[in-house]
């Protein structure tokens, strides 16, 4: 018994020291190349205070287009659309007037257990060509009992190029019980597809 208590205390301490801030909904990969059409995944890591998850919703941030959702046979997938103020060019030269605003996974063949496992929810989106931008994905888990909202945003906008970003992000994630998942857009090292011409570095950084 005593040993178990000690071990638990040690585990708590080491998670403090390693700066572990979250076991919430997060993006599986927290970095993505700006301008890519990128596979993204929201990771659900636990239920609502011991209650299994039956529905997951994610709000698509502004600036993302061409959103498509991974096919699932174990969840019903719904999308809600949002009209754009200004149409943007899409695939094959046609213009896009509306984009996916929210993705909802519901009515699973079985719920996500309240603890001990995680599950990923994949979708794909064209990311803005803005290296250094941080995109926040607000999400909600609806459980058999209650829900968990990960919809909070930092009070001040965070600069991905600032040297104090780790401290700021860590503070943001500790400040609230429901921090939004996020990704940081990075300057791509190469074009997404091998058949695309490489952009001159200068032009890429000027954008
Ligand atoms: Cu959590």
> What pLDDT digit, counting tens, does each position of 5-52 carry?
444 444 444 344 444 555 799 999 999 999 999 999 999 999 999 999
C-alpha 29/C-alpha 26 separation (Å) is 8
**Partners of 40 in beta bridges:** 123
Rounded distance from Cα 24 to ligand 1 centre (Å):
3
In this prediction, residue 200 carries a pLDDT of 67
Dihedral sign of CA atoms 103, 57, 21, 167 in order: positive
Rounded distance from Cα 16 to ligand 1 centre (Å):
15
pLDDT surpasses 70 at 103: yes
**Partners of 126 in beta bridges:** 37, 65
C-alpha 133/C-alpha 153 separation (Å) is 14
> What pLDDT digit, counting tens, does each position of 162-185 carry?
999 999 999 999 998 899 999 999
CATH of region 23-194: 2.60.40.2230
Rounded distance from Cα 179 to ligand 1 centre (Å):
9
Q: Which residues are CB-contacts of 53 (< 8 A; sequence separation ≥ 6)?
A: 44, 47, 111, 112, 114, 119, 141, 142, 143
Neighbours of ion ligand 1 (CB under 5 A): 23-24
What distances in angstroms separate CA 44 from CA 14, 88, 164, 183, 204, one per listed residue?
23, 32, 28, 15, 34
Q: Quick one: which of 131, 133, 146 has its CA closest to 178? A: 146
Q: Quick one: which of 69, 64, 200, 67 has its CA closest to 129? A: 64
Q: Is 193 left (phi over 0), alpha (psi -120 to 50) or beta?
A: beta
Rounded distance from Cα 137 to ligand 1 centre (Å):
15
Q: Where are the domains of the chain?
A: 23-194
Rounded mean pLDDT, 87-104: 89
In this prediction, residue 21 carries a pLDDT of 58
Tokens at residue 166, please?
Answer: 């780790």
Tokens at residue 185, please?
Answer: 């857009």
Query: Which tops the pLDDT comparison, 95 or 112?
Result: 112
């Amino acid at each position: 018994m005593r040993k178990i208590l000690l071990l638990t205390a040690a585990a708590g301490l080491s998670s403090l020291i390693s700066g572990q801030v979250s076991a919430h909904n997060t993006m599986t990969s927290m970095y993505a190349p700006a301008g890519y059409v990128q596979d993204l995944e929201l990771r659900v890591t636990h239920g609502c205070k011991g209650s299994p998850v039956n529905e997951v919703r994610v709000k698509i941030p502004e600036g993302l287009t061409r959103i498509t959702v991974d096919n699932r046979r174990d969840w019903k997938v719904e999308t809600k659309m949002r009209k754009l103020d200004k149409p943007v060019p899409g695939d094959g030269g046609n213009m896009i007037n509306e984009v996916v605003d929210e993705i909802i996974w519901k009515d699973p063949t079985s719920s996500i257990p309240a603890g001990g496992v995680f599950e990923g929810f994949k979708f794909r989106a064209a990311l803005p060509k803005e290296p250094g931008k941080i995109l926040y994905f607000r999400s909600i888990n609806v459980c058999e009992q209650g829900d968990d909202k990960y919809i909070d945003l930092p009070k001040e906008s965070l600069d991905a190029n600032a040297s104090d970003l780790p401290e700021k992000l860590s503070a943001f994630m500790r400040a609230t019980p429901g921090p939004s998942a996020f990704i940081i857009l990075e300057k791509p090292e190469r074009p997404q597809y091998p058949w695309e011409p490489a952009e001159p570095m200068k032009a890429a950084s000027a954008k």
